[in-house]
Structure 1
């Protein structure tokens, strides 16, 4: 089936339990996920894991209260040395798996074994923050460990991906407002998470977000918010690439120009190519003279 004939949802939708301090978020990625897979021909196990990372990055980005971006980055001793997904406050997402072209595994431990997960919050203005936890069992379990250590608010994740779609759901306890009694809060949390645990991967991937919320919580008073669009967007640009070139030694740039006549740089996220000739690099080279051989 071609991508043009497949349904496209690509949105995040929040819901709130009206009578207790719990919120939920569901994200589903169709065209956004396939756009990234089109750029990189990843093995199936790598593609599905990248889909989970993308869905998780969007879920986490929906919690941002400022303009900026959130980055999930895994480094491991497994078959994927580095896997990264990034989502900004506009819910524009991109992702990459580096060094995983020959990966053959289809389980988390073999793909990302012995690794660490870094969660970086990078506001456009203000202080950058990063938290790091071991990768254990699954991405969902690793993220839950992060929230247990850093936020002290109950947080659960359900993530899934196949060849065409990626999806995720988050449940999170909110600071005490409606229900002050700790035992009652815990009972509400156990109720919400127990029902969520009945959600099957094919339902998370195949049903629309309102259907999922109704399927799980039709007996609970829920408020469903307007869905927000999610899209694939790379932040690379000619200006940023030129700025990156400025970190290279002038002599090395001169040598490349002498040998090739121009310098071409590729964005590893979207495969966009940027070519620079000497005139483009005047600001980088300054007053330096060409290397004479």
Structure 2
């Protein structure tokens, strides 16, 4: 199955339904990140949630979700662009001891200082749009509950979210009540439809969310409803780090500093602070960085291709 987000609408336009299913992109993202099991699960749930929300962005840019606090996990951060390119990482405190079954509150919010942060970051193509940042206390027992609280109190949108994450797969289901015409008979019908959608979705079992094909899950939950199915959107992992960027950073560091590093070890090894991907430069690579040739950073790189 392709990594994909699917959207549906109830025929009366009362409710938005979305599913997300990610395997390849998530496994790519974890390839260079060594994280405890509980942290991988939490980061995966946050990633699935970011995809569900970013698919509704009305501008060219990114949605960034951050969870930070005072527990053994200092920070979780996920970025998802409007075209569903994702990246995600976690920062742990030094010497953190994390049990496999640790909860979100145990990991991040041990003394109530945890925060849930939502950032809307427009691209450079939107010079007239300013970034937005919303910060709320970290509530609930999991990522889904924290995000539901944020959407209700900060965005005034009734939202229900179900998430599941493992080392192999991310899945998620979102229901969101769409704005109607307040006080009209149509609004009353919309409210009834929303309540019915909630009642049906509440029957989902964790193993169904984890194991069922999303289309099968939607059919099982809403087979009596008339749903409008929209075109699916593909999902990819993308971190903008590159060997060329690392080379430029080493060049800025200076020849003397790089040579000092090489005296201590055989190669200079640098990992991306975000995705953990490692980049290695041996003495020949490093020497080529300081040859007076504007095209050298690329042509002198033996392993770039």
Range class of TM-score, shorter chain: 0.7 to 0.9
Structure 1: gaps of 5 or more residues: 1-7, 284-293
Q: Counterpart in 2 of 1:194? A: 199
Match of 1:226 among 220, 228, 231: 231
Equivalent pairs, count: 272
Equivalent in the alignment of 2:70: 77
Q: Deviations over 1:68-97 (max 9, x none)?
A: 111111111122111111111221111111
Which residue of the partner structure matches residue 271 of structure 1?
277
When normalised by structure 2's length, the TM-score is: 0.79
Q: Does 1:50 align with 2:50?
A: no
Q: Distance in 1 between matches of 2:198 and 2:183?
A: 17
Output the CA distance in 1 between the equivalents of 2:176 and 2:245: 37
**2: CA distance between counterparts of 1:238 and 1:123?**
26
Indicate conservation of the 8 Å contact 2:63/2:120, yes or no. yes
- Alpha carbons 1:43, 1:102 under 8 Å: kept: no
User: 1-side partners of 2:221 and 2:231: how far apart?
Assistant: 19
Which runs of 5 or more residues in structure 2 are unaligned? 293-305
TM-score, structure 1 as length reference: 0.82
State the match for 1:62 in structure 2.
55
What RMSD in Å do the two structures reach over aligned CA positions?
Answer: 2.8
Aligned 8 A contact 1:26 1:168 in 2: yes
Counterpart of 2:303 in structure 1 is none
| 1:134–1:281 Cα change, 3 Å | farther
Tell me the residue number matched to 1:204.
209
Q: Is the 8 A contact 1:69 1:122 kept in 2?
A: yes
Residue in 2 that maps onto 1:167 = 171
Distance 2:217 2:181 in 1: 26
Does structure 1 retain, via aligned residues, the 8 Å contact 2:5–2:232? Answer: yes
User: What is the CA–CA distance in structure 1 between the aligned matches of 2:182 and 2:225, rounded to whole Å?
Assistant: 15
Q: How does 1:1-293 map to 2 (within 5 A)?
A: 8-99=1-92, 102-104=97-99, 105-113=101-109, 114=112, 115-124=114-123, 125=126, 126-137=129-140, 138-176=142-180, 180-181=184-185, 182-238=187-243, 240-241=245-246, 253=254, 256-257=257-258, 259-260=260-261, 265-268=270-273, 269-273=275-279, 275=281, 277=286, 280=289
Which residue in the other structure is 1:290 paired with? none
